[in-house]
Structure 1
Amino acid sequence: MAQQPRIAMVAGETSGDLLASLLLSGMRGLWPDLQAFGIGGPQMSGQGFDAWWPSERLAVHGYSFEVLGRLAELIRMRRQLRGRLLGGPPDVFIGIDAPDFNLGLEADLRTAGIKTVHFVCPSIWAWRADRVEKIRSAADHVLCIFPFEPALLALHGIAATYVGHPLAGVIPMEPDRRAARAVLGLQDHDAVLAILPGSRSAEVQYITPRFFEAAALIHQALPAIKMIVPAVPALLNRIEQAARTCGLGDVLQVISGQSHTALAACDVTLIASGTATLEAALFKRPMVIGYRMHPLSWRLMRRKQLQPWVGLPNILCKDFVVPELLQDDATPQSLAAAVLQWFDALEQDPDRMTALHQRFTALHQSLQRNTPQLAADAIQKVLAPTA
């Protein structure tokens, strides 16, 4: 291995871009002049990453049905990437999340003698336990973001390291609500709802209309409420159009990005299931988790589910700490009612709010580690020549 390694990486979507950028910052502490290239997003590019394709090309919503329309494109992109990496082998390949794309690629590269690392253990403890065999064949090492995962992987002979959750180090233990509100032009006394309908194109199709219809009902009940919608820049126009279609063009404040600012500023969030729910928990915010997808994808996913919870805060707390309204249960009426219950609790049930804050603080503490350094150290060991 060269003293300054060549590192290939593939990160899917906004969350993967963030994880990979933090990993890059840790690796540059060990190897300031490393070369990093592959598939990535703007935060990775800010760390000197050479993005051959943008990470948003991997953003696919649903379990299988929605993938079909883009399957040929994804297969072609992976084939081209594989050929390019086999033609000029990196010292290590790091797949960041996106297991459906990365695990097969990692297996091929590993067979060719390239070291492979997978960052973020696929949720075999929540659904699709059959993936464990793919992980074993694909990855020399797995970097885990939840503390119970290395022991689970060890049962299957898979080397792994717990590195903490990067977001737990980025998000402060006590967020500055006042400063965040100042950035968004909000007053300290405002009742504020953050609406996060997802970062994928199909999520706009399936989730945003329900969320915005619920927002209209919430606005009827609380006319003075302020509602903030952080949108992925690529989807900003579609979300603004959805707001106008629901008659909320003058009510919803749609902003480009700034999801952390919105979560720090809000009192309650209505949020799509995914990594953003863990971010909301780290911000100690009460939330209502909602999700919808194509009915066929929903039926397939439900058959693979291993736990009663879908939202990450509930999975990690092993309890329905916050409500989940999924698929047919995610009606505008039920979503609005659940959100309004949180606003009522803010005024009338301080014990409930204190208990939620304590649960989320304990969760935050359990995930807080020096993730960039721990991950970089684990990768250095993978790259170390064997005796």
Structure 2
Amino acid sequence: MVAGEASGDLLAGLLLGGLRRRWPALRAAGIGGPTMAAQGFEAWWPHDKLAVRGYVEVLRHYREIVGIRRQLKDRLLREPPRLFVGVDAPDFNLDLEADLRAAGLKTVHFVCPSIWAWRPERIAKIRRACDHVLCIFPFEPQLLARSGVRATYVGHPLAGVIPLEPDRAAARQSLGLPAEGEVLAILPGSRASEVHYLARPFFDAAVLVQRQRPGIRFVVPALPNLRRAIDTAARRAGLRDGLHIVEGQSHAVLAACDLTLIASGTATLEAALFKRPMVIAYRMNAISWHIMRRQQLQPWVGLPNILAEDFVVPELLQHDANPRALAQALLEWLDAPARMAAVQEKFTLLHHQLRRDTATLATDAIEKTIQG
């Protein structure tokens, strides 16, 4: 298995739980993170080696990433597994899967690449690389079937893990936050490049919000390798009072908050499943941004908006993701409780649509792929 970042590690860990229930003696190895390790996964490389987003950012790490993929491919061809599962990270996994499949190995890709959002040309590579695709959104299998790719909708694993009614009081207690009062969760991303571009404007925006609402508190989940960068950004922004930085615990943070300022990515869907209104933002290298904007197929980038096919939550991207605009969007939520309640109802409906027994459905599809 290969999972290339924190969200992929979480998805792979959930899948591994289902696979081990079916095959208790299963051995799983490759590239992964702590959630996978908790399921007995043997990580030959840590998942954060692949946690790079953006064209320019990938170029900086290109030689190392290509070297890892070559070493991994050689090892898997020397000691062929019964199955290779690539979890997300399509730029890394699809080429690897194509080589492995050409050599006779069975391959499954977990999480359909977002060909419906951008880079539709990937469908030819998916057809060449994958024996089967496990889809987390209900419209994807039909889309893949048109191009001759076998696929199964397995629901979104997070929808089965996140409770339909999050316990805000318990989450606040676990994080040492007061039971009453407004709490804003700040999630500037799980990659170093995201924190580099987003942490400072996020914290600058928080300072502006605090001036208008002095009693508000801020909570930030920080991965251990990003803690120093987040601490530095908060300090330089002058945000001290009411700031609570915790190690990891992003789910507890989302359960505890009233509202979140959040980097575009899987975390936005997590926030929606926790029924939390949000402001989605993203910034990256200017060249990467120019390339990605030209390839975008839909007007939305945030998963909650893509699934709703509407701007149910604001998106502020690149130059628009400046502290003043971010703060204004956050204050507009806080000043409109009826609007917050309405979006929470929409997110509850979305949760029901995505809630399936993902681990079992995925394991069933994997078993058929192995036997086929």
Aligning the two structures, in what range does the TM-score lie when normalised by the shorter sequence?
over 0.9
Q: Per-residue deviation at 1:364?
A: 0.4
Q: Which of 355, 359, 365 is equivalent to 2:342? A: 355
Greater mean alpha carbon deviation, residues 318-327 or residues 242-251: 242-251
Q: Per-residue deviation at 1:48?
A: 0.7
Which structure 2 segments of 5+ residues have no match? none
What does residue 12 of structure 1 align with?
4
Residue 194 of structure 2 aligns to a residue in which SS? helix
What does residue 124 of structure 2 align with?
133
- Does the 8 Å contact 1:194/1:270 carry over to 2? yes
CA separation in 2, counterparts of 1:17 and 1:247? 33
- Does the 8 Å contact 1:240/1:249 carry over to 2? no
What does residue 355 of structure 2 align with?
368
What does residue 246 of structure 2 align with?
255
Find out whether 1:379 has 2:372 as its counterpart: no
- Does the 8 Å contact 2:216/2:242 carry over to 1? no
What does residue 124 of structure 1 align with?
115
Greater mean alpha carbon deviation, residues 185-194 or residues 43-52: 185-194
- Does the 8 Å contact 2:260/2:276 carry over to 1? yes
The amino acid that maps onto 2:73 is R
CA separation in 1, counterparts of 2:193 and 2:113? 22
Q: Which of 247, 267, 282 is equivalent to 2:273? A: 282
Q: What whole-Å deviation, never above 9, does each CA across 1:271-297 have from its counterpart, x for those lacking one? A: 000000000000000100011000100
Residue 207 of structure 1 aligns to a residue in which SS? helix
Q: Which of 210, 232, 236 is equivalent to 1:245? A: 236
Q: TM-score, normalised by structure 2?
A: 0.99
Which structure 1 segments of 5+ residues have no match? 1-8
CA separation in 2, counterparts of 1:60 and 1:31? 33
Residue 143 of structure 1 aligns to a residue in which SS? strand
Q: How does 1:1-387 map to 2 (within 5 A)?
A: 9-62=1-54, 64-346=55-337, 350=338, 352-384=339-371, 386=372
Q: What whole-Å deviation, never above 9, does each CA across 1:188-210 have from its counterpart, x for those lacking one? A: 32110000000000111111111
Q: Per-residue deviation at 1:250?
A: 4.0
Q: Per-residue deviation at 1:319?
A: 0.4
% identity of equivalent residues: 65
Q: What whole-Å deviation, never above 9, does each CA across 1:175-227 have from its counterpart, x for those lacking one? A: 00010011122223211000000000011111111101101101111111100
Q: Per-residue deviation at 1:251?
A: 3.7
CA separation in 2, counterparts of 1:231 and 1:141? 35
Q: How many residues align?
A: 372
CA separation in 1, counterparts of 2:89 and 2:177? 36
The amino acid that maps onto 1:28 is R
CA separation in 2, counterparts of 1:355 and 1:223? 26
Poorly superposed stretches of 4+, deviation over 3 Å:
none
Q: What whole-Å deviation, never above 9, does each CA across 1:236-291 have from its counterpart, x for those lacking one? A: 11111111111113442111101111100101100000000000000000100011
**What is the root-mean-square deviation in Å for CA atoms of aligned residues?**
0.8
The amino acid that maps onto 2:345 is Q
The amino acid that maps onto 1:342 is W
Q: Per-residue deviation at 1:363?
A: 0.5
